[in-house]
Structures are given as C-alpha cells and as structure tokens.
Structure 1
Amino acid sequence: MHSNTESLDTGASGRPVRHLVATEAAMAAAGLDGWQQRYQQLTPGHFLAQVQQATYGDVHVFRERTNQALLEEGEARRGYLSIALPHRECADGWFSGYRMSGDTVLRAGNGQPLAMRTPPSLDLLGVTLPLPALQRVMEREGVPELIARLQPATEVRRAASEDFRAAMLAVLAASAMQSEVFNQRFVESAMRDALLMAVVSTLTHGIGDVLLPTPPARRRLVAQAYEMVRAAPEAPWSVLVLCERLGVSRRTLQYSFNEVTGLAPLEFVRALRMNGVRQALGGRQAPEPVGVVAARWGFNHLPRFAAQYRAFFGELPSETAGRGR
C-alpha cells in the first residue's frame, strides 16, 4: 500500500496547493492539514482517498473524497472552526450523533473532538478559518451570538448549501491553476475574504434582514465606497473589506449597490477600475505602457486583463492607447 502527494506551486508567495492520493485510511487521515485524525475503514474493499487542499493566509479550504465507509475521529486546533458540507447525494452517515445529508452544514474545531461515520462514498467540501475573524464578521452582520449557538450539524436551505458548495469548488479550481494570476499580491487576501463571506452567508441564510438604511443613506454609502476605491484602486477590495471600512453589514452593502448602481459591489469596483484604465490610456498626456496603467488600477495579469478589457469595451487596451497618441 502506498500514498503519494503532489504539491502544485501556484507562484503565490510559495503557497502550495496540495493533492493527496492515499490507498490506506491512516495515510488519508495524516494528509489533512490542521487536524489530528484517526480513520478506520468499516466496509470491505480496496480503499482510495483523494484530498485537495489550499491555504490562503489563515484560511484553509479542502475537498475529501473516499470510496469506503469510515469512522473518522479527531481534533482540530484551538481558535479555529471547520465548516463542511457533504455532497448532494449524501443520505447516509452521521456526524457527532447527527444524521448527514447534502444540506447539512457540519461544524467542528476549536479543540473539540469529532466523530463521523461516513457513507461508503463521501465527497466532503470544507473550510477551516480562525474564530476571531469569523466572529468579527458575524458581529458586523448583527448576529454575534450565532457561532455559540451552532449545533454540530445544521440543516440549511437548498439555495444556501448550493451557493456554499459552489463557492468552495470555485476557490479550489482557481487554486489549482498554474497561472501568473497568482502573482497578484492581493489574490491571497481576496480568496480568504471570499471564503469567510461564503461561510457567513451560509450560516446566516434565512435570518431576517436587519433594518436597511433609507434611500438617501444608501446613496451616501455607495458614494463613500466610490471615493474609497477611486483613492486606492489597486487595493485588495473585497466585500468583506468594503463592509469593514464602511461599517455596514453584507446585506446593507449588497442591497445599496444593487439599488443605486444595478451592480453587485465587486462588479461596480471592476467597472470603476476598467473605466479608470480607459481614461488613462485615451488621455493626451505622455503615453505609458498598458501594463503600467493596468497595474495602477489593480490589474496585474496583463493577458487576462486584456481579455477582460476587450469583453468590456469591445476593443483591446492597445487600441484605446493608440487613439490617444
């Protein structure tokens, strides 16, 4: 029996994306970062596990797939919480005494023991993140006590589980890309914030909205965000960063942007940056290389930017620059 690992170098500050293939349950248990786990195989047959995992700062996302029923026991680091979701077809197995399904959000960590009996075929997506960061976002959302009330297994609405699953799969797919895009210095913080917000969105889905601001307040909020981004377009803007800087909840931010601009917050940020590049390239001042202008507005991967620019404006940035000379 053997196990092999492959580290995929994305170029982002030496951060590895790991893919583990194991033919022994014990090897699979040892391969999951941040956990002290023990696996016992419960059903007969050849065992195969695949674990994909990536780390963004202090946030860790993983996918675990196994082909035999297991008894999984273990503990995670104190100060961290793991939130996981089984695959859609999961209709068997239990987690800390609770039955699992494809809409069951599983909670573990912060030094607490876990015990899970997996179904014969498991596909589990999860994220481990620091409790203080999660708590700050929960407080911003107006539900500071929610973490303390979480059960080991919580049923969520189908829309919430599908969105959470899609968010984690998207992050893992992006992590596996061997692309220069990961040389962008803000990619790690953007991915970290996206995972934090995905967890918060899932856990707060269906909770009644807080009182939304008046229309004039919503317009002022968007105007504030506009001025902040214009002042530092190259900064690593994310929904979480905007919420923290503006002192509002995710719901308030998204509602305000949708009503005032017709766009989601980050779509608006992207449009603002694109227009900033276009205005700079089309100006009559001394010409600068397209890559220099793009980087000043937060675009650090030139081929990707050029494709996005063409899709947005119908021409390449070099064509815009040529007319301005």
Structure 2
Amino acid sequence: MNLVQSRDEDNSCAPVRCKQYSFDVNQQAQTLTAWEQRYNQHGSGQFNGYLDELRLPKLHLFEEYTSQTIHQECCVNPDALWIGFSLDTQRPKVNGRTAEKHQLMIRPAHEHFELTTPEDFNILGIVIDRELLTTGIGFEELERWESTCLIENSHAEHSCWALVDLIKQSLNCNSILGRKLLELADPNQIELHSRLVNLIEQSAIARLGMYQVAGTPEHSRGFSTRRQALKRINNHIEQTGNYPLTINEMCSIACVSQRTLQYCFEQELGINPNTFVRDCRLNAVRRELLNMSEQSAICDIALRYGFYHLGTFNHYYKLLFAETPSQTRDRASKYQNVSVVKRFVRRNGFK
C-alpha cells in the first residue's frame, strides 16, 4: 500500500471526503487537520488506526479508530469547537472527566485539553464553526458550553444515536446522502452543493440543540486537587523538557503526598504514575527516532530521556510498541505519512 501525503493543495470549493489509515500513533495525530494534537501510546502492542472524514467549510464530521490506549493533548483551531462522543462500552475521559453515552465532550478553540481513550476504541466527532453553532443555540448557551467539558442529552436513554446516525450517513458511500456527496465533484452541481451543505449543517445544529450543560462535579475539592496536581507535572515537563524519574520527584513537583499522587493518576488516567511517565518518555524517544533529521545514536537518545540501562529501555520499548527502537528508525520513512485509502472529493483543508 503506497503511503502519500494527506494534505490537499488545490483551490476547489468542493468538500473533502477521505479515509486514511495509520500504523503509528504519531501518524494518527498527523491525520487530524482541524486542530493541533500530540498522541502518547499507553497500551502495549502494535498500533493501527484510521480517520474517516468529511470536511465542509464550516463543519468537519469524522470517525476515528485507535487500537491502543491513547493519551491525547489537543487544541482546536481558532473560531471552532470540538465535540466528541462514542457508543463504545469503554468510556473516554476529557480533562479527567468520564463521558457517558448520553454526554458529549466539548472544548472551545485555543484551549489545550487532555483526552484519554481506551484500547480498540471508536470516537465520532464534529468540529463546528462558532458562528454557525451560535445561530442554532444562541450566544448565551454557547458561552455555557465553552465553560464546561461535558454537555448532555436530558433523555439519557437516547444516547448520541441521532448524531451518530448523521455522521454515519454522511460517511457511508452507499447511503443516499453519501452518494449525493460524491456527486459534488461535478462543477455543474453548485445548487446541489449548497443544498446538501445546508442540510448537513442544519441537521447537526438541530441534533446539538438537544443538549445542555451537565452538572459541574469538576468544582468539587477532590477533582480540583487532582487536576492541579497533574497540571503541575505537565507544566514542569513543558517548561523544562525534563521528565520526573521517581515518585518522590513527582510528588515534589505536584505538591501532593505519594498516596494522593497515586490516587490522582488512577482516577484521572487509569494508570499508576511510574508507568504513565515511563510511557511518556518512551513516546518522546519514539518521536525522536521518527525524526529523520535526528542522527544521534539510539543509546544517546534513550539517555536523554532518562533511560540509563539500555537492556531495560529496549525491553519496555518493545513491550509498548511491539517493535525494537532499531526497527522504528528503519521504518521512519514509512511512518512519516498516512495511507490514504479513499479520497473522494477535494478542497482545501477545513480551518
């Protein structure tokens, strides 16, 4: 299967409709064009995933699959909101809060957030223009949405089926809507283009209008303590470039006891602190190995991220990624680009 760049460079006004496969967690992060993100793999084994998407001028609909547990650091591009949801049994977390099946995860533009997804997971989502959403729910409601992480359907039994159906129908080439979308490559279909885009936009707004701001348990003392502790550790890594190597060092940075630190990681991320930070360091090493301009020896890169025993480093690296560091470096060129399975209709990427 040929690996090619996923970015479109033409000036067509038609939507983008494509599906892309990835074979590395960093590849997967590169497929997402409507926001900035960094993925760290925390589930052990070979990664695979895909992104199936439809990008309209003011609306981006997608389904994403990831085979391993992923901790994502994300930021939506200007003037848009990210909304994510899933019907899978295992639940995702946004900024440490578990999203139930009747709830939508939501984050505004220019605000960094954390998303934790379990293994073998499908997530569906919408990136929607703020102005478009405001026309449907009003400015005051939009402000409430942007101040929280979760919004919910007042009828919990309804789950997110209506939104799931809209995205599935839009992405399904055999559905009536999906087939009509494929016809938009014809320059004579301007009227159809306008009608279909408006239909999808209004359908999305109508379905989103069924949701409202959920309760706010994030204001509880325990939740606030956990979030602050993790934020201090993340800020330390961002500002210094150094990963804490011991529990005592993490406790000192987070300003909490060892027992509280353990509880923070288990409740927020479902993993113990030592394993989480070790996985982050291994992911950082992997990004260096995939950087084809990085010529340092593998042992030097490992040492840079606190791995002093090469045998132990190789063991944990292979356990997490199902390949050796040398194999990663050998495959770096393959992992640079995603595999575009189908590109149906093209236009510049959604902003």
Partner of 1:305: none
Corresponding residue for 1:163?
Answer: 162
**Is the 1:83–1:199 Cα contact (8 Å) retained in structure 2?**
no
Distance 1:3 1:112, change over 3 A: farther
Distance 1:68 1:160 in 2: 25
Which residue in the other structure is 2:183 paired with?
Answer: 180
Aligned residue number for residue 189 of structure 1: 194
Render the CA deviation track for 1:42-82: whole Å, top value 9, x for unaligned: 11011011001121222211111111110011211121112
Cα shift readout 1:152-188 (whole Å, capped 9, x = no counterpart): 1223234361111101111122457784365321344
The separation in 2 between residues aligned to 1:165 and 1:137, in whole angstroms, is: 19
Residue 208 of structure 2 corresponds to: 203
Distance 2:84 2:198 in 1: 17
- Tell me if the contact between 1:23 and 1:48 (Cα under 8 Å) persists in the aligned partners: yes
Partner Cα separation in structure 2 for residue 188 and residue 105 of structure 1: 29
Whether the 8 Å CA contact 1:7–1:16 is kept in 2: the answer is: no
Q: Distance in 2 between matches of 1:111 and 1:7?
A: 22
TM-superposed deviation, 1:22:
0.6
Task: Show the counterpart of 1:154.
Answer: 151
Q: CA RMSD in A?
A: 2.9
Report the alpha carbon displacement of residue 30 of structure 1 after superposing the two structures with TM. 0.9
Which position in structure 2 is the counterpart of 1:84?
A: 84
Which structure would you say has the larger RCO, counting Cα contacts within 8 Å and 6 or more residues apart? 2
In the TM superposition, 1:233-312 aligns within 5 A as: none
Specify the code of the residue in structure 2 equivalent to 1:56: L
- Given the alignment of the two structures, is residue 94 of structure 1 paired with residue 93 of structure 2, yes or no? yes
Q: Which amino acid aligns with 1:200?
A: I
Alpha carbons of 1:145 and 1:23: their partners in 2 closer, same or farther (altered >3 Å)?
same
Distance 1:128 1:89 in 2: 20
Structure 1 residue 38 corresponds to structure 2 residue 41:
no
How far apart in 1 are the matches of 2:21 and 2:88? 23
Partner Cα distance (1:55, 1:123) in 2: 19
Deviations 1:229-273 (A, max 9, x none): xxxxxxxxxxxxxxxxxxxxxxxxxxxxxxxxxxxxxxxxxxxxx
1:155 maps to amino acid: E
The answer to whether the aligner puts 1:145 opposite 2:150 as a matched pair is no
Query: TM-score, normalised to structure 2's length?
Result: 0.51
What is the letter of the counterpart of residue 134 of structure 2?
Answer: Q
Equivalent position of 1:302 in the other structure: none
What is the CA-CA distance between 1:7 and the residue it aligns to?
8.7
The answer for the alignment partner of 2:131 in structure 1 is: 132
Q: How far did residue 120 of structure 1 move?
A: 0.9
**Identity percentage over the alignment?**
16
Structure 2 contact 55–61 (Cα < 8 Å) conserved: yes
Q: CA 1:146–1:3 in 2, change beyond 3 Å: closer, same or farther?
A: farther
Q: Tell me which structure has the larger Cα radius of gyration.
A: 1
Q: Residues 93 and 180 from structure 1, CA distance in 2 versus in 1: closer, same or farther, beyond 3 angstroms?
A: closer
**Deviation per residue, 1:176-235 (Å, 9 max, x gap):** 77843653213443343334333433333278xxxxxxxxxxxxxxxxxxxxxxxxxxxx
Evaluate the alpha carbon distance shift between residue 147 and residue 182 of structure 1 in structure 2; reply closer, same or farther with a 3 A threshold: same
Aligned residue-pair number: 199
**How high is the TM-score relative to the length of structure 1?**
0.54
Q: Report the more deviating stretch, 71-80 or 53-62.
A: 53-62
